[in-house]
């Protein structure tokens, strides 16, 4: 019987086990303001006052310092990733019945998988984003980006999320996965719902409303893989199906190819859309850095790393302790859930000098934790970097007078892990 990765392993709530709820733990609310608008102000306090604390709101220990975050991600034997895709808020019984009735063959795959299974899967996916694949995708990315910029160049004002960042990463990924462009809006909507179901705090009624679309999303992935198995194309999923037949890799099944597609259909575009929005907002707020990039494109590679470090689109990840541990002097029991704050680590001044300052010339910008660390380092990092590089290259070339529209507000989806504004209004001079 296939395991269900959307039900959490039986773990006793740490609050019920007598874990201390301290000042920051009682104050921490990742689903509301002011945290959603500016989590970094809270991270400064946490790193200084209480770098490890227990949050009863989400039943997780929150870890904020760079050294501790890196050590946790580097040690999968002590810190399991088995909970990474389980809902922060458990689904109500009716929702679970609805989901289980479909009997999907779902099991741990990449981000929620531990060795030795994770090692087998990672080896199977070894050709995902090789230099050769990236070289093939580069003209695809550039054509999409340039076409969209030229479409809006005479407008003088636009929402970059809506007009460029929302669809571009999805269209690039769809070319890679063999999915028609016409599916963009549907899959984007599914991904948003998946984010809320997994890392958000929806009500039971909202979960029941979202569940049919979530099921449809998964079924779409199974159907797409079935269709490509019958009629393979020049795409990565077809390549994996061929590889499965030829290699017969131990522990890897056709359903795992479906899970690869399911994972990429969110991680492969949603995170990049958010990262572009976060990064360009940060860069345009620092006018001298934007002007420097426009004058000297050689600054772009490091500027991309600083954009990712300074305001990551994936602000946290999750782990579970396999044994009692001590982190920053705090005793944490076995089976404790951890919220590992990547974004807080990225500005830790013990590692990044003047970490709250945005600096496109920062020497160690690439040491950020935004793509994770260790065996779970992000598979799609090369593609994300390529897309951000081309976006920065072409926007600075076509629209050097680009600037943020003053007085706008920024809205963020309430969840623990994914962060990006729903809109980013900019203006520029039109000749």
413 lies in some domain: yes
Query: Do the strands 317-321 and 425-427 form a parallel or antiparallel pair, or are they unpaired?
Result: unpaired
Integer Cα distance of 381 and 337 in angstroms? 26
1 lies in some domain: no
* Domain carrying residue 302: 23-427
Rounded to an integer, the average pLDDT of 26-35 is 94
357 lies in some domain: yes
Position 17 confidence tier, pLDDT thresholds 50, 70, 90? low
Rounded to an integer, the average pLDDT of 175-193 is 84
Query: Do the strands 337-340 and 60-63 form a parallel or antiparallel pair, or are they unpaired?
Result: parallel
The conformation of residue 294, written as its DSSP 8-state character, comes to H
261 lies in some domain: yes
CATH code for position 194: 1.10.630.10
Token readout for 23 is: 């000042």
pLDDT beyond 60 at 18:
no
181 with 171: CB under 8 angstroms? yes
13 lies in some domain: no
Integer Cα distance of 128 and 271 in angstroms? 17
Q: What is the helix (H) or strand (E) element at residue 85, kind and residue range?
A: none
What is the CA angle 169-173-179, rounded to 5?
125
Q: Measure CA of the first residue to CA of the last residue in the chain; give whole Å.
A: 64
Cβ count within 10 A of residue 288: 7
The per-residue pLDDT for 15 is: 55
Only one residue has tokens 């009716």, namely 94
The per-residue pLDDT for 182 is: 82
15 lies in some domain: no
The region of weakest confidence among 29-43, 253-267, 405-419 is 253-267
The region of weakest confidence among 20-24, 64-68, 321-325 is 20-24
Helix orientation angle between 381-398 and 270-285, rounded to the nearest 10 degrees: 40
Q: What is the mean pLDDT of the chain?
A: 91
11 lies in some domain: no
385 lies in some domain: yes
Q: Residues with Cβ < 8 Å from 359, sequence gap 6 or more?
A: 289, 306, 365
The structural domain count of the chain equals: 1
pLDDT beyond 60 at 266:
yes
Integer Cα distance of 195 and 217 in angstroms? 12
Rounded to an integer, the average pLDDT of 31-45 is 96
Q: What digits encode the pLDDT tens for the residues 75-125?
A: 999 999 998 888 998 999 999 999 999 888 777 778 888 898 888 888 888
The per-residue pLDDT for 10 is: 46
């Amino acid at each position: 019987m296939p395991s269900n990765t959307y039900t959490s392993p039986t773990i006793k709530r740490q609050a019920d086990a007598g874990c201390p709820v301290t000042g920051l733990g009682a104050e921490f609310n990742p689903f509301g303001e002011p945290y959603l608008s500016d989590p970094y102000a809270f991270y400064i306090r946490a790193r200084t006052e209480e770098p490890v604390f227990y949050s009863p709101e989400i039943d997780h220990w929150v870890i904020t310092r760079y050294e501790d975050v890196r050590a946790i991600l580097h040690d999968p034997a002590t810190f399991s990733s088995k909970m990474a895709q389980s809902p922060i808020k458990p689904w109500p019984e009716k929702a679970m019945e609805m989901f289980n009735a479909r009997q999907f063959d779902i099991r741990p795959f990449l981000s929620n998988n531990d060795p030795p299974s994770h090692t087998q899967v990672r080896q199977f996916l070894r050709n995902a984003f090789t230099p050769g694949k990236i070289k093939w995708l580069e003209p695809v990315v550039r054509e999409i980006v340039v076409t969209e910029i030229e479409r809006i160049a005479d407008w003088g004002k636009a929402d970059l999320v809506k007009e460029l960042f929302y669809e571009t990463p999805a269209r690039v990924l769809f070319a890679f996965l063999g999915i028609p462009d016409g599916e963009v809006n549907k899959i984007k909507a599914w991904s948003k719902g998946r984010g809320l179901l997994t890392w958000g705090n929806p009500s039971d009624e909202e979960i029941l409303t979202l569940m049919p679309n979530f099921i449809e999303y998964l079924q779409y992935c199974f159907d797409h893989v079935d269709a490509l198995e019958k009629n393979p194309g020049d795409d990565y999923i077809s390549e994996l199906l061929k590889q499965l037949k030829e290699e017969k890799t131990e522990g890897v099944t056709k359903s795992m190819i479906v899970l690869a597609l399911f994972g990429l259909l969110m991680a492969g575009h949603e995170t990049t859309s958010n990262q572009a929005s976060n990064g360009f907002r940060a860069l345009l707020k620092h006018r001298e850095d934007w002007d420097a990039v426009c004058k000297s494109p050689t600054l772009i590679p490091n500027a991309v790393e600083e954009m990712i470090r300074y305001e990551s689109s994936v602000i946290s990840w999750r782990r579970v302790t396999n044994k009692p541990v001590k982190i920053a002097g705090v005793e944490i029991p076995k089976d404790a859930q951890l919220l590992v704050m990547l974004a807080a680590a990225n500005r830790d001044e013990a590692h990044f000098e003047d970490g709250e300052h945005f600096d496109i010339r920062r020497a160690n910008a690439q040491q950020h934790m935004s793509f994770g660390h260790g065996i779970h380092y992000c598979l799609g990092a090369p593609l994300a970097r390529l897309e951000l590089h081309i976006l920065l290259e072409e926007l600075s070339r076509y629209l050097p007078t680009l600037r943020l529209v003053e007085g706008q507000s920024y809205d963020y989806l309430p969840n623990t892990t994914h962060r990006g504004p729903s809109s980013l209004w900019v203006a520029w001079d039109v000749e």
